[in-house]
Structure 1
Amino acid sequence: MDEKQLQALANELAKNLKTPEDLSQFDRLLKKISVEAALNAEMSHHLGYD
């Protein structure tokens, strides 16, 4: 994804964030998804699947 696509995605997602709690929940979810993706990539590399 290039920067323009990321900005468009961020703008679309921001429309649904109405409260500080929404932002906090979104932040936690984004971190969870990022960590899981990194761990899955590391495991795939470790097991030689890439």
Structure 2
Amino acid sequence: MKTKEERKQIVEAASSLCSLDGYSKDKDLFQPYIEGTKSLDDLLQEELKS
């Protein structure tokens, strides 16, 4: 299990990669992942459904 700080670093890296392509997603979307309440996969699946 990753620590909160490790999860935060992953989100920062993912956000910066997205920004390079001109697509920047609000980081609040990742807050449940950072807090450890949802997996990154769960969040991405939810986003794909919306």
Shorter-normalised TM range = 0.3 to 0.5
Larger radius of gyration: 1
Q: TM-score, normalised by structure 1?
A: 0.39
* TM-score of the aligned structures, taking structure 2 as reference length: 0.39
